[in-house]
Amino acid sequence: MACGGELSFTLEPSDIIAVQEQPLMLHCQVEGIPPITTQWRRNGALIVEDQNYVMFANGSLLIGHFQKTKSDGSSDEGDYECIAQNFFGLVLSRKARVQAATMADFHVQPRSVRAELGGVGRFQCQIHGLPDPVISWERDGRPVDTSDDRYYRKILLHTMIFERMHPVLLANIHVSLSQWACLCLSSLCRYTLLPTGVLQITGVRPEDSGMYCCVAHNSAGVKHSTGAQLTVSGSQSSVYKEPMILVGPENLTLTVHQTAILECVATGYPRPIVSWSRLDGRPIGVEGIQVLGTGNLMISDVRVQHSGVYVCAANKPGTRVRRTAQGRLVVQAPAEFVQPPQSIARPVGNTAIFTCLAQGEPVPQITWLKNGQILEPDGHVKLRNNNSTLTIYGVTQDDEAIYQCIAENSAGSTQASARLTVLWADGLPGVPTGVRAEVLSPTSIQVSWNEPAQNTQDIIGYVLHIRKTAGRTTAYEPNHTHTRKHAKSNHI
Distance CA 456, CA 23 (A): 53
Distance CA 336, CA 343 (A): 19
Query: Residue 312: inside a domain, yes or no?
Result: yes
Say which range, 163-172, 211-220, 267-276, has the weakest mean pLDDT: 163-172
Query: Residue 323: inside a domain, yes or no?
Result: yes
pLDDT in tens, 105-144: 999 999 999 998 988 999 999 999 999 999 999 999 999 9
Same domain, 288 and 206: no
Q: At residue 490, does pLDDT exceed 60?
A: no
Same domain, 230 and 110: yes
Same domain, 166 and 259: yes
pLDDT tier at 475, thresholds 50, 70, 90: low
Query: What amino acid occupies position 385?
Result: N
Let me know: does 167 contact 188? Beta carbons within 8 Å: no
Distance CA 168, CA 469 (A): 109
Same domain, 397 and 469: no
Last residue in a domain, options 404, 423, 442 = 423
Same domain, 404 and 297: no
Over the range 295-309, which residues count as b (16 or more CB within 10 Å of their CB) and which as e? bbbbbeebeeebbee
Distance CA 300, CA 311 (A): 18
pLDDT in tens, 422-447: 997 666 676 787 788 888 888 888 88
Residues in CB range of 357: below 8 A, 6 or more apart: 337, 338, 339, 388
Beta bridge partners of 31: 8
Query: Residue 428: inside a domain, yes or no?
Result: no
Q: What is the pLDDT of residue 153?
A: 31
Same domain, 248 and 348: no
Q: What is the pLDDT of residue 146?
A: 74
Q: Residues 329-356: what's their mean pLDDT?
A: 96
Let me know: does 477 contact 464? Beta carbons within 8 Å: yes
pTM of the model: 0.73
Residues in CB range of 318: below 8 A, 6 or more apart: none
Distance CA 374, CA 365 (A): 14
Give the sign of the dihedral formed by CA 438, CA 439, CA 440, CA 445.
positive
Same domain, 306 and 454: no
Same domain, 75 and 23: yes
Residue 270 per-residue DSSP state: S
Q: Could you give the angle at the alpha carbon of 375 between the alpha carbons of 372 and 381, nearest 5°?
A: 140
Query: Residue 267: inside a domain, yes or no?
Result: yes
Let me know: does 329 contact 307? Beta carbons within 8 Å: yes
Let me know: does 10 contact 30? Beta carbons within 8 Å: yes
Same domain, 230 and 347: no
Say which range, 37-46, 165-174, 215-224, has the weakest mean pLDDT: 165-174
Average pLDDT, the chain: 85
Let me know: does 130 contact 101? Beta carbons within 8 Å: yes
Q: At residue 481, does pLDDT exceed 60?
A: no
pLDDT in tens, 157-209: 322 222 333 333 443 333 332 222 333 444 456 899 998 899 999 989 999 99
Last residue in a domain, options 372, 405, 423 = 423
DSSP 358-406: EEEESPPEEEEEETTEEPPP-SSEEEETTTTEEEESS--GGG-EEEEEE
Same domain, 177 and 305: yes
Same domain, 305 and 290: yes
Query: Residue 1: inside a domain, yes or no?
Result: no
Whichever domain contains 412, its CATH number is: 2.60.40.10
Query: Residue 2: inside a domain, yes or no?
Result: no
Q: Between 277 and 454, whose confidence is greater?
A: 277
Over the range 173-201, which residues count as b (16 or more CB within 10 Å of their CB) and which as e? beeeeeeebebbbbbbbbbbbbeebbbbb
Same domain, 355 and 485: no
Q: At residue 22, does pLDDT exceed 70?
A: yes
Question: Which residues span the domain enclosing 83?
Answer: 7-100
Let me know: does 16 contact 26? Beta carbons within 8 Å: yes
> Mapping DSSP to helix (H, G, I), strand (E, B) and coil, where does residue 410 land?
coil
Residues in CB range of 24: below 8 A, 6 or more apart: 16, 18, 62, 63, 66, 76, 98
Q: What is the pLDDT of residue 434?
A: 78
Last residue in a domain, options 294, 327, 360 = 327
Beta bridge partners of 299: 260, 289
Query: Residue 335: inside a domain, yes or no?
Result: no
Provide the number of structural domains found in the chain.
5
Q: Which of 38, 15, 273, 244 is nearest to 160 (CA)?
A: 273
Let me know: does 401 contact 422? Beta carbons within 8 Å: no
Distance CA 42, CA 16 (A): 14
Query: Residue 461: inside a domain, yes or no?
Result: yes
Q: Between 170 and 42, whose confidence is greater?
A: 42
Residue 198 per-residue DSSP state: -
